[in-house]
Structure 1
Amino acid sequence: MEAIDLFSNNISYNAIDDKNIMSLISLVRQGIQFPVFVNFMEKSPFDLAEWSGFLHVSERTMQRYKKEERTFDALQSEKIVEIALLYKKGIEVFGNSHNFDTWLNTQNLALGKIKPKELFDSSFGIGLLKDELIRIEHGVLA
């Protein structure tokens, strides 16, 4: 199976079709290797400490994964893919990563005065952010 680049132009919420979703399911089931994750992490605005919170894994465990070049389990891999897709969607909506990163780090009234990135630790939170990005994209602001 060919590797999926989480930042490629053809993998996004808008481009997920049956073929792509099956590739993503396969990727999640195989698990994301730590070096692949590091490549993605370095392109994201989040450090290892933040990622450990998103993935519900201690920083010490993350360091061990790094040292041993381990593979994340399916649940952690799925969360990484969800965040990667959400991040790409945010860049599409806001026009660039800087604007989206600013939005992620700013308290949001529509989200109960929390920073959007604080919702990355749950699939429900990621879904809520995806819905919020779609509303912003269509000019429906709460």
Structure 2
Amino acid sequence: MGRALKIDESIHYGLIDDRDVFMLISTVREGIKYTLFQSIADKSPFSTSEWSSYLHLSERTFQRYRKEQRKFDPLHSEKILEITLVYNKGIAVFGDKDNFDAWLEAKNIALGGIRPKELLDSTFGIGLMRDELTRIEHGVLA
């Protein structure tokens, strides 16, 4: 089980998926380097302020991580991967990054009238979003 997911700054964003759960677990335990996080963040529609909110870290802490090129602890690493996985699933379901990004921004009646991206700050919210994407994928609309 000790194999870590070998990820560097040049990884293609779409290659992180949940097919190899043990590699994901190992990566979480090892911690995600700031450089990898930055490459993920650059390909997402989320601002540093939003990432800060999702990970429950201050923007100042983000600046320190960047300056010191630190690794995120396991809890933050796991949240980064969870958000990445749900984001990749959304792009796959919508067939297009721009369409999914627009869905993330629009208030959603099925999700209690909030914007889907507002759910990314908790594992429960990420799970709810994943469930909603699965319903959309299978044509079950609320």
| TM-score, structure 2 as length reference | 0.91
Greater RCO, 1 or 2 (C-alpha within 8 Å, sep 6+): 1
| Equivalent residue letter for 1:53 | S
Matching residue of 2:126: 126
CA drift of 1:2 comes to: 5.0
1:64-83 to 2 correspondence within 5 Å?
Answer: 64-83=64-83
Distance in 2 (CA, whole Å) between partners of 1:31 and 1:12 is 17
SS at match of 2:13: coil
Shift of 1:47: 1.3
Give the one of 7, 16, 26 matched to 2:13. 7
> Which SS does the other structure have where 1:124 is aligned?
helix
Contact 2:17–2:88 at 8 Å: present in 1 too? yes
1:80 partner SS: helix
* Equivalent in the alignment of 1:44: 44
Identity of aligned residues (%): 57
* Separation (CA, whole Å) in 2 of partners of 1:2 and 1:23: 5
User: Structure 2 matches for 1:1-142, cutoff 5 A?
Assistant: 1-4=4-7, 5=11, 7-9=13-15, 11-13=16-18, 16=19, 20-142=20-142
Give, in angstroms, the shift of residue 68 of structure 1.
0.6
Amino acid in structure 2 at the alignment position of 1:7: Y
> Residues 6 and 84 of structure 1 are in contact (CA less than 8 Å); yes or no, is this contact kept in structure 2?
no
Please report how far the alpha carbon of residue 137 of structure 1 lies from its aligned counterpart in structure 2 after TM superposition: 0.3
Displacement, 1:8? 3.8
How far apart in 2 are the matches of 1:3 and 1:104? 29
Cα-to-partner distance string for 1:6-33 (whole Å, 9 max, x where unaligned): 7244x424xx2xxx11100000000000
Mapped partners of 2:12, 2:135: distance in 1 = 23
Give the SS at the match of 1:121: coil
Point out where structure 2 has 5 or more consecutive residues left out of the alignment.
Answer: none
- Moved >6 Å (runs of 4+): none
